[in-house]
Structure 1
Amino acid sequence: MLNREHLLTYIYLLVYILLSSGVILYNKWVLSTKYFNFPYPITLTMIHMGFSGVVAFFLIRVFKVVSPIKMTFQIYATCVIPISAFFASSLWFGNTAYLYISVAFIQMLKSLMPVATFLTAVVCGTDKLRCDVFLNMVLVSVGVVISSYGEIHFNVLGTGYQVMGMFGEALRLVLTQVLLQKKGLTLNPITSLYYIAPCSFVFLFIPWYFLEKPVMEVSQIQFNFWIFFSNALCALALNFSIFLVIGRTGAVTIRVAGVLKDWILIALSTVLFPESVITGLNIIGYAIALCGVVMYNYLKVRDARASQLLIENLPERVELKTLKASDLYDPNDNVHNISGGRNV
């Protein structure tokens, strides 16, 4: 029989799955020219960042839910600005991919995120090239290639945007480890939004001004306040729900929930967007890639347990080892988390 604590945990997981799937499908619906017809991904991302920044400001400065960290100009210039730049680029490219490829195929491509994170960490010297992890990365890559080959509506531009978005996110994670964590700074979801969202908004404003603003002036798009308000609210709620689930269950549980969410999302996308067609080769390739992701998660859990046992057997004066960037990312999740620590 389920007790209250277990029931609450399952409710949190359900809310996370619903919000994560809902945000992705909502973004696709808004951006698609066949439905809401607002094909401006930079504008949509700016709305998310602006809304999140305003909410975080009120929560910290007005309602004082949490206290801001001690932020100097040097830390802001050397840490927050570069992290915000890559975060803005990852959201920009990731949302742009919705214009060209289906939600189902995007979720399949997201299986490459551990590969992007691992390769970026190795190149930047924050992780070591290991044979077991490398073989998993090869397996994931082979699966994605097979899935891409089986994609009926394969689009090079859309695939390129999605891949660039993943590498932008990978660079953000590496920078988070190198710049923030080594300075001993930990940002929760609210403080992350408070510092990073406004800066990301500024970075997005530059390409928006040259790429989307001229087109919007002549297209005469009607702005529906409630559509964009509810969309931004869902994105904000997703970030907070992930933090709650991580705090209650841990990163491993949310990774498992993420796998379930991906399958549900792929199925829902084919129902809500009839133009999305899934082939047998898509499923086979994604299943292969998923096997690599599951093995990757297993290795991360095994390494974490080994590190924990080592720490417990060492004197208290030994400092904890800094997390790798690959530990900070959930390969099955959306890209809206911006916290310095691992809460997505």
Structure 2
Amino acid sequence: MSAIKSPPSSKLFTLGLVSAWYSSNIGVLLLNKYLLSNYGFKYPIFLTMCHMSSCALLSYIAIAWMKIVPLQTIRSRVQFVKISALSLIFCASVVSGNISLRYLPVSFNQAIGATTPFFTAVFAYLMTLKSEDWLTFITLIPVVTGVVIASGGEPSFNLFGFIMCVGATAARALKTVVQGILLTSEGEKLNSMNLLLYMAPIAVILLLPATMYMEENVVGITIALARQDFGIIWLLIFNSSLAYFVNLTNFLVTKHTSALTLQVLGNAKGAVAVVVSILIFRNPVSVTGMAGYTLTVLGVILYGEVKKRSSK
């Protein structure tokens, strides 16, 4: 069967989508770092709640009003409980990731985040007893080794930030595995945009008491900051909107390319984010740290290649 060539307009559209995905993804990461570390807005749970509020509102507008994708309804109480469980894991991942950005540079944060395939393989085995073949596990050795090397050579290493970042990466992998287990039946499957539509409001409800208890009077502090510099409000609105567009462009890139292409682009995105963050924040990077990160990325690329061949 011969391949059908995409028209130039289609290629330009796909290139535009990928550029939008890269920009929003790296943008939200850098803005989170700026707000939580450089600006001194030390409220990662509240920031995550702003993100989830934006995702809830913009998801509703995109699906119910603009009809970007058809609305899928929740069909049972059991399905709602499953989505709530996913939302809890999702919250843990985003909050932990935002906390880690207070203590770690973006470059090191991305190096740890690249180990997601390792955690996915571990959780898949523990929860489904589905083991990868030996070659797949061998490709995960450089993924983990690279992070160990990068950790030893990281000038700005912080143990608490490291633990939070590993926790965020593990939670992200756990969500992928749990989502595959929980929403398997044809009647329960939701596309990522509809899943976000239901997960985001649940996340806001879960984060609200955590914010009030752990980040007391954060609303009052934010209002006080806004009186001194109203720019903080625009930063929060822009940052929260970008958090939604990360999900939207992620969905659209997958739709117009493939999940495998997204994985390859994601690996490259991590490297781009590292370079951009070093240029912007000027955080010190050692040769050992960069060598470790490079080894991790190479391991992830090898992992993707092996998975692609085993799925054929």
Q: Aligned runs of 1:1-344 on 2, under 5 Å?
A: 3-32=8-37, 34=38, 36-125=39-128, 127-182=130-185, 184-214=187-217, 221-223=224-226, 224-274=232-282, 276-304=283-311, 306=312
Change beyond 3 A, Cα 1:65–1:252: closer
CA contact (8 A) 1:12 1:245 kept: yes
CA contact (8 A) 1:145 1:285 kept: yes
Which one-letter code corresponds to 2:8 in the other structure?
A: N
CA contact (8 A) 1:78 1:179 kept: no
Distance 1:218 1:228 in 2: 14
CA contact (8 A) 1:126 1:174 kept: no
CA contact (8 A) 2:112 2:169 kept: no
CA deviations over 1:116-163 (Å, ceiling 9, x no partner): 111011100153143112212222111110011000111000000011
Distance 1:202 1:226 in 2: 24
Can you give the 5+ residue segments of structure 2 that lack an aligned partner in the other structure?
Answer: 1-6, 227-231
Q: How many Å apart are 1:92 and its aligned residue?
A: 0.5
Q: How many Å apart are 1:56 and its aligned residue?
A: 2.1
Distance 2:203 2:217 in 1: 21
Distance 2:115 2:46 in 1: 26
CA contact (8 A) 2:149 2:289 kept: yes
Query: With structure 1 as the length reference, what TM-score do the two structures score?
Result: 0.81
Q: How many Å apart are 1:104 and its aligned residue?
A: 0.5
Distance 1:283 1:205 in 2: 38
Distance 1:42 1:124 in 2: 29
Q: How many Å apart are 1:54 and its aligned residue?
A: 1.6
Query: With structure 2 as the length reference, what TM-score do the two structures score?
Result: 0.89
Which one-letter code corresponds to 2:94 in the other structure?
A: L
CA contact (8 A) 1:38 1:221 kept: no
Distance 1:17 1:253 in 2: 13
CA deviations over 1:153-205 (Å, ceiling 9, x no partner): 11000000011111111221121111112354332343122211011111222
Can you give the 5+ residue segments of structure 1 that lack an aligned partner in the other structure?
Answer: 307-344
Q: How many Å apart are 1:221 and its aligned residue?
A: 4.7
- Bigger mean CA offset, 231-240 vs 255-264: 255-264
Q: How many Å apart are 1:31 and its aligned residue?
A: 1.1
Which one-letter code corresponds to 1:99 in the other structure?
A: R
Distance 1:163 1:303 in 2: 28
CA deviations over 1:259-304 (Å, ceiling 9, x no partner): 2222221111112112x11111011111211221111100121122
Distance 2:177 2:254 in 1: 20
Distance 1:117 1:191 in 2: 23
Distance 1:291 1:67 in 2: 38
Distance 2:178 2:142 in 1: 26
CA contact (8 A) 2:114 2:267 kept: no
Distance 1:80 1:108 in 2: 29
Change beyond 3 A, Cα 1:63–1:142: closer
Distance 1:142 1:8 in 2: 38
Helix, strand or coil: the match of 1:222? helix
Distance 1:28 1:247 in 2: 30
Identity %: 28
Distance 1:104 1:75 in 2: 40
Helix, strand or coil: the match of 2:71? coil
CA contact (8 A) 2:143 2:299 kept: yes
